Structure 1
Amino acid sequence: MFYYYFIIAFQVFCVYHAYKNKNNFYWYFIIFFIPLLGCIIYLLTQVINKKDVSNITEELTTIINPSKKIKDLEKALEFSNTFQNKINLADGYAEIKDFKNAIIQYEEALDSNFKDEPYTLNKLIRCYFEIKNFDKVVEYSQKINLEKDFKDTIYFYGLALEQKGKFEEAEIELKKIDKRYSNYDERLEFSKFLIRRDKKAAAKEVLKEIISEIGAMSKVNSRKHRNVISEAEKILNAH
């Protein structure tokens, strides 16, 4: 019985790792159809050479029993009520998509002597976006220098501005993520924003660039973006 659960857990970890790292699709077949040997091969070729054993164990434990990591972090905070332990617990909640509890811990951390700590504010922006509190996304985004230090967060700020009806400001921000050979998911969303603003010609230009760039990649790399290119083509055909 233990062997059975071990194999299942091993497969879950390998599939999660393959998905997270956008590895080749054939790994899923190897992991599923050659359970133990396939997982071992995947571990040796795709994981061990990238992460140390302690990180592997931690990820596997988190997948199987996510509450254990949270309990350990809560105990650490009870033992030592420090800024870093609050952040660690908040990060743990964010990892399991418990954004409301993550926000509580991030906010409590900021109540100390780290009121304007930019990295914590940036994490709060992401969490507030996930729970659709766009007022807070805008508020905190304006407290830190996104363009200099947190370029990835500009995307969330732009979409939050749209939700608040600040369309011109939103477009200015979202244009900043429209950079060639990067940000494909975000640029796809930018094209949808342009369509919502009835700027279909501009949206088509963005979509054509995405398709062209991905099409010029090697098969291995283009396969990682197959969902993006599929949706981009679908939107183009619809408009």
Structure 2
Amino acid sequence: MPYFLIIALQAYCIYHAIKNRNEYYWYFLILFLPVIGSVIYLVTQVFNKKDLDVVQNEIVSVINPTKKVNDLKKQVEFADTFQNRIHLGDALYEIGDYNAGIGEYEIALNGNYKSDSGVVKKLLEGYYQTSQFDKVIFCAEQIHQKADFKGSRSQFLYGLALEKSGRSEEAEENLRPIDQRYSNYEERYILAQFLIEKGKIAESREILEEIILESQHMSKPNRNKYRGVVNNVKKLMASI
């Protein structure tokens, strides 16, 4: 197998293992047995979970993360449609370029922030990631009456933005709905930290205890995925 393909195969397998928080022995197998180890990893951890086309696209993304963005920019140049702009914005977010992604969503909406709540949620996420908290609040207030807003990540980010703006009571009101069993572990951990800062130790402890209990019943993929946040929860629990 050509050297470049071996490196690309290893890079993808390592990327996939990190993304899915798989066991550490996979890293050693992939690194020290490049071809055999990578093939074993693909057969046991990838091909039975994803379609081949998706895997191929992810490999390309690892090797050249800007290729998807450049291809979508060409599509926008060819046909400047709402959907093409949204796809480009999504791709820019995927590589962490939130400012550019925000620009694409803003063009797509063209000032009408009530036209598509899904895009407004994407904007809200980008504004939060770039610390534009006033704009987070503005976006949230355009869609807060939508049925799918309550308990969503968008409402959670709205709550965090309100806290940044010194509106603590409103912040807590919008942070609490994220506390849903067997989901939102990272957000619930942040909520617990928020409650500790407000002196509500017992309520924070209750959330932390629930996460620890739920972690004992997680599937293997979820245990790998949420290992970091569960460890943080245990540390926080031990400190209060």
TM-score (norm 1): 0.89
1:216, distance to aligned residue in structure 2 (A)? 4.3
One-letter code of the match for 1:18?
A: A
1:182, distance to aligned residue in structure 2 (A)? 1.6
3-state SS of paired residue (2:66):
helix
* Alpha-carbon separation, structure 1, partners of 2:126 and 2:89: 10
* Alpha-carbon separation, structure 2, partners of 1:94 and 1:189: 22
One-letter code of the match for 2:160?
A: L
3-state SS of paired residue (1:66):
coil
Q: How does 1:111-122 map to 2 (within 5 A)?
A: 111=110, 116-122=115-121
Deviations along 1:104-160, whole A, 9 cap, x unmatched?
A: 000000018886211111111111111011111111112124773252322212211
* Alpha-carbon separation, structure 2, partners of 1:231 and 1:67: 33
1:187, distance to aligned residue in structure 2 (A)? 0.7
Report if aligned partners of 1:147, 1:154 keep a CA contact under 8 Å in 2: no
* Alpha-carbon separation, structure 1, partners of 2:65 and 2:227: 30
Corresponding residue for 2:129?
Answer: 130
Change (3 A) 1:122 1:238: same
Residue ranges of structure 2 left out of the alignment (5+ in a row): none
Change (3 A) 1:70 1:222: closer
Corresponding residue for 2:29?
Answer: 30
1:27, distance to aligned residue in structure 2 (A)? 2.8
One-letter code of the match for 2:60?
A: T
One-letter code of the match for 1:166?
A: R
Corresponding residue for 1:86?
Answer: 85
Give % identity.
45
One-letter code of the match for 1:120?
A: V
* Alpha-carbon separation, structure 2, partners of 1:219 and 1:91: 29
Q: Which has the higher contact order (CA 8 A, sep 6+)?
A: 2
Report if aligned partners of 1:77, 1:86 keep a CA contact under 8 Å in 2: yes
Structural RMSD (CA): 2.3
One-letter code of the match for 1:107?
A: E
* Alpha-carbon separation, structure 2, partners of 1:12 and 1:140: 38
Q: Structure 1 residues 224-233 or 171-180, which shifts more?
A: 224-233
Corresponding residue for 1:225?
Answer: 226
1:69, distance to aligned residue in structure 2 (A)? 1.6
2:180 corresponds to 1:179? yes
1:31, distance to aligned residue in structure 2 (A)? 2.1
Corresponding residue for 1:54?
Answer: 53
* Alpha-carbon separation, structure 2, partners of 1:156 and 1:137: 8
3-state SS of paired residue (2:72):
helix
One-letter code of the match for 1:167?
A: S
* Alpha-carbon separation, structure 2, partners of 1:38 and 1:189: 38
* Alpha-carbon separation, structure 1, partners of 2:221 and 2:67: 37
1:90, distance to aligned residue in structure 2 (A)? 0.8
3-state SS of paired residue (2:194):
helix
2:198 corresponds to 1:201? no
Change (3 A) 1:166 1:112: closer
Report if aligned partners of 1:159, 1:170 keep a CA contact under 8 Å in 2: yes
One-letter code of the match for 1:48?
A: F
Kindly tell me the number of residue pairs found equivalent between the two proteins: 238
* Alpha-carbon separation, structure 1, partners of 2:64 and 2:202: 49
Report if aligned partners of 2:185, 2:211 keep a CA contact under 8 Å in 1: yes
Corresponding residue for 1:155?
Answer: 156
